[in-house]
Amino acid sequence: MTIPFGENCQMQCVNQSPTDPTFVQNPYPFYDSIRALGDLVFWNDYDMVCATSYDAVNAILRDRRLGREIPAGMQQPIPERLAPFYAIEAHSMLELDPPRHTRLRSLVLRAFTSRRIKELAPEIETLCHELIDKFPGGEVDLLTAYAQKLPVIIIARLLGVPEKMSDQLLTWSNAMVTMYQARRTRTDEDAAAKASTEFSDFMRGYIAQRRKAPADDLITHLIAAEEDGEKLSTDELITTCILLLNAGHEATVHTIGNGIKILLEHRIPIVTLSPDSIDTTIEEILRFDPPLHVFTRIAHEDMDLFGHTVKRGQSIACLLACANHDPVAYNHPNSFHPNRSIKANTSFGGGLHFCVGAPLARLELRFALSTLFSRCPNLRLIGSPQYANLYHFHGLETLRVEIDPSTN
Ligand code: HEM
């Protein structure tokens, strides 16, 4: 890795290929080196300003002078072949600023209540047991047999989408999220556009069905909110359901995977922890090895930020995982301390777009980890699990473990 001074750069420029396997497996040394250069650096390979420190990432996520929408007059034309993908994005709260963001988010929050999430606890625990019951004896890939199954089934149930669709939802979702990764190819883009069309056609049909036969599920609640005159259009409804299905499992799958890996590598017996310590351990997992490393914001005006001039329309990447390892915010940030006292980390973002699903994700993590380790206390890693080369996502390719059949 080289970190030259950029002659034309008003801030320090850094070079690091986001697809370099060494970086993908362990991006934290790079993060340490760029954070030492300043709150903001210019990452040449990304062609983007990046916020590196805990303070800078938190401040930018909360700064209302920056947002998600490209300022008027600066939008680039969208290629026709990608239109189906961007047609969905156009209504996604994740991509919008107030006032549309506020309206969409508050409608979702009304339907996605904390009471409804808490009520899911017994269901989540039962599902964890059912998945473990199905483990073959001996060796198992916990990513596919466990970490992937739990969040997708739960979010499908919550929305009211048939559970037998789970595998199909995973396939569509995986194809769509390749659009956000550093090494996307033309084939990825075509697959994302195809998945977008199919997913949206499915949701359109399914929503029509739900209008005729309401049930006690999130889709019905969202439809009701629309019909109460709050104007959630059918296209907004489709996008919101797709967003919840995609966001509702991808990151949780990988936090469960990364968490199991960390606990096994550090030999932490989570079953002996009190409920409070489990929460602390989960926050430390989220801080130490989060599944999503980058979210961007766009400057809506010229501004001074951390001693640098940022121009209207310029994007800034908030390096969440880099902020989480800032020694100014955490003592010995590169060490995993399951009992570290809780201090808000950036893994769920911050400000207006703070993760809607954080309470659900935390509940799933709590049951996924405690049930697994109490049912299978003698789990042993097979080999060293590798992260998929999909930066800025940070999740494992597989998580192969050996289970002592006598304890399963
Ligand atoms: C460990 C698991 C999860 C992580 C690490 C995570 C992370 C994040 C982050 C960092 C953001 C903010 C993006 C930004 O600032 O631009 C976000 C937003 C969001 N997340 Fe999550 N998420 C997780 C689970 C979930 C779940 C389970 C759901 C839904 C059930 C969900 C739904 C959403 C939605 C809808 C947004 C957009 C919020 C907005 O734009 O206002 N997430 N998530």
pLDDT, tens digit, 9 for 90 and up, residues 9-24:
568 999 999 999 999 9
Residue 71 pLDDT level (bands cut at 50, 70, 90): very high
Tell me how far apart the alpha carbons of residues 326 and 342 are, in angstroms, rounded to a whole number. Answer: 15
Q: What's the whole-model pTM score?
A: 0.94
Query: Which residue, among 175, 203, 202, 196, has the nearest Cα to 187 in the 3D structure?
Result: 175
Per-residue pLDDT, 7: 45
Q: Please give the mean pLDDT across all residues of the chain.
A: 91
Q: Of ligand 1's atoms, which has the minimum distance to the CA of residue 112?
A: 30
Per-residue pLDDT, 113: 85
Residue 8 pLDDT level (bands cut at 50, 70, 90): very low
Tokens of 205: 């049909």
Tell me how far apart the alpha carbons of residues 284 and 83 are, in angstroms, rounded to a whole number. Answer: 40
Per-residue pLDDT, 6: 42
Residue 224 pLDDT level (bands cut at 50, 70, 90): confident
Instruction: Tell me how long the chain is.
Output: 408
User: Is pLDDT larger for residue 350 or for residue 169?
Assistant: 350
Residue 407 pLDDT level (bands cut at 50, 70, 90): low
Distance 8 CA to ligand 1 centre (A): 36
Q: What percent of the chain has pLDDT over 90?
A: 74
CB atoms within 10 A of CB 231: 11
Over residues 248-260, mean pLDDT: 94
Per-residue pLDDT, 226: 61
Alpha-carbon Rg of the chain, whole angstroms?
Answer: 21
Per-residue pLDDT, 10: 65
Q: Which residues contact 393 (CB under 8 A, 6 or more apart)?
A: 177, 180, 181, 250, 254, 291, 292, 293
Per-residue pLDDT, 76: 87
Distance 348 CA to ligand 1 centre (A): 6
The residue written with tokens 């049951």 in the block is 367
Q: Of ligand 1's atoms, which has the minimum distance to the CA of residue 320?
A: 10
Over residues 175-204, mean pLDDT: 90
At residue 237, φ and ψ (nearest 5 deg) are -65, -45
Residue 49 pLDDT level (bands cut at 50, 70, 90): very high
Q: Of ligand 1's atoms, which has the minimum distance to the CA of residue 360?
A: 27
For ligand 1, residues with CB inside 6 Å are 61, 93-94, 105, 155, 243-244, 247-248, 251-252, 255, 290-292, 295, 347-349, 353, 355-357, 360-361
Q: What percent of the chain has pLDDT over 70?
A: 94
Per-residue pLDDT, 111: 78
For the segment 305-357, what is each residue's pLDDT rounded down to a tens digit? 999 999 999 999 999 999 999 999 999 999 999 999 999 999 999 999 999 99
Q: Which residues contact 158 (CB under 8 A, 6 or more apart)?
A: 116, 120, 217, 218, 244, 248, 360
For the segment 368-378, what is each residue's pLDDT rounded down to a tens digit? 999 999 999 88
Which SS3 state, helix, strand or coil, does residue 275 take? helix
355, 366, 392: residue to mutate for ligand 1 pocket, most atoms within 8 A of CB:
355
> Ligand 1, atom 2: nearest CA belongs to which residue?
252
Mean pLDDT is lowest, of 75-84, 201-210, 218-227, for 218-227
Distance 95 CA to ligand 1 centre (A): 12
Tell me how far apart the alpha carbons of residues 231 and 234 are, in angstroms, rounded to a whole number. Answer: 9
The widest CA-to-CA distance across the chain, in whole angstroms, is 65
Residue 408 pLDDT level (bands cut at 50, 70, 90): low
Q: Which residues contact 315 (CB under 8 A, 6 or more apart)?
A: 48, 49, 296, 297, 298, 299
Is pLDDT of 386 > 90?
Answer: yes
Tell me how far apart the alpha carbons of residues 21 and 389 are, in angstroms, rounded to a whole number. Answer: 7
Per-residue pLDDT, 5: 40
